[in-house]
Amino acid sequence: MSRALALVDGNSFYCSCERVFDPRLAGVPVIVLSNNDGCAIARTAEAKALGIKMGDPYFKIREMCRRQGVRVFSSNYALYGDMSARTNAVYRTFAPDVEIYSIDESFLDLSDVRERDRVALARDLRSTVRRWTGIPTCVGIGPTKTLAKLANHIAKSVPELGGVCDLSDEAERALWLVGISVGEVWGVGRASLAKLQALGVDTVADLRDLDPRPARKALTVVGERIIHELRGRACLALELVPARRKGCAVTRSFSSRITERAVLEQAVAAHATRLGEKLRRDGQATDQVTVFYHTSEHDRGDPMRSVSTVVHLPEATNDTLALIRAVRLGVARTWREPAGAPWRYSKAGVITTDLVPLSESPRTPLGALEREAAVHVSVARARRGAWCRPGSGLCQSGRGRRRPDATRPRCTARLDTVPTVLAQPPFARASARIAVPRAPSDLLLVR
């Protein structure tokens, strides 16, 4: 039996969750906003038809929403998480092997289902999920994850398919691939799209037929994997056991700009508290916390400041009080009283990137090496327009799906690096790393 994966995703998932609990929202444009009601992160088809884009700042569309009768919701992640669990419970009654890929997407292993029965099963799955949870879904089927994703994209964009698309058949698949832009492929973002277009690659079929070796030069091994996946050769495995989380962050924009140290300290303490909750829930711990805070890149003309500092803890912990002490220390080491116009900070957060299972965290070793925490403070003049958050790994121009503005200046902020030795002696952590044998080929992630 041939390998077959289905990607099932909830349509406009957050909006659909809201609709489950208020049937009057059916047929009405609905959007859900990000934290602080900053921008639109979920839109129903009716809202998309009004021209509302993913990530649109709410203040720019507020008036239009009012005029058009768009129902607007703040996000409610407890609700969405609960609904996600319900949909996955239904998926498991159709396929025992399910990888939960995101809050609204799961891969199902349909390899044991006969090829001619797969579409019917997918239709049954859709209607059952709709009946039992109220959530509308689409299903894409293919021999690899990348093709299942693409099939799901087709299922969503071609209404005649009734929400299900099966790309198992190679000849039929080839017909679809010539008509789809390469930018729709999972893993091809804005930067890769530009490189591919320069190589004369416009459609998914073009990419499938590209020689993998030059592709690797332009797009790294990731691009080479995509090509093999598009040809039906699986490079990405179904991951049934969720991987241990490697990092954890709690960050928030302030609802309004802040200038006072006490307010900042309160905020980072709250973030540290939340961080401790997340770590304890996962049975993880950390021995270093990065604290950052910065002014807004949108406040051109204001004095700008971006701070990121690493605070080392004596031993790995997930204790709230220890984490709060650490982040307050981070603020104490970096806070500056303004000489002139105050810095108006827009966002703060705490990040850990080196989590260990609590059971593995070693006791403080005697005579351990002292380490230094470097405090990076960048001061960028607004008129120069340069801006980044050094040391945080969170450069605005390079991360996430933020940065639609290609003209935004790159990170050229001047860095003043001020090494700071903490009063509390930091300690090196005995290595908890376990050597993992390398896969025979770096291409194949399938086990």
Partner DNA sequence: TCTGGGGTCCTAGGACCC
Where do contacts with DNA occur on this chain (CB under 7 A)?
34-36, 38-39, 41, 55, 57-59, 101-105, 149, 185-193, 220-222, 243, 245-253, 256-257, 278, 296, 298, 346-347, 349, 390-391, 393, 395, 397-402, 410-411, 431, 433, 435, 442, 445
Amino acid present at 187: G
Which helix (H) or strand (E) segment holds residue 289: the answer is strand 284-295
- CB nearer DNA, residue 188 or residue 227: 188
Q: Contact 346/251 with Cβ under 8 angstroms?
A: no
- Residue (2 or 102) nearer to DNA, CB: 102
Task: Give yes or no for a contact between 309 and 376, defined as CB atoms under 8 angstroms apart.
Answer: yes
Nearer to DNA, 114 or 246 (CB): 246
Helices (H), 199-341: 204-208, 212-230, 261-282, 320-334
From the CB of 346, what's the least distance to DNA, in Å? 6
Name the residue type at position 284: Q
Nearest-approach distance from CB 231 to DNA, in angstroms:
18
Whether 281 contacts 351, CB under 8 Å: no
Crossing angle of helices 261-282 and 320-334, rounded to 10°: 140
Q: What are the backbone angles phi and psi of residue 330, rounded to the nearest 5°?
A: -60, -40
CA distance 189 to 223: 11
Output the smallest distance, CB 240 to DNA, in A.
15
Minimal distance, residue 344 CB to DNA, in Å: 8
Rounded to the nearest whole angstrom, what is the least distance from the CB of residue 198 to DNA in the complex?
Answer: 13
Query: Which of 133, 346 has the CB closer to DNA?
Result: 346
Residue 274: both structure tokens together: 């939340």
For DNA, give the closer residue by CB, 349 or 426.
349
Q: Residue 167 and residue 4: Cα distance in Å, rounded?
A: 9
Give CA–CA dist 189/224, Å, rounded.
Answer: 15
CB 146 to DNA: min, Å: 10
Q: Which is nearer to DNA, 160 or 405 (CB)?
A: 405
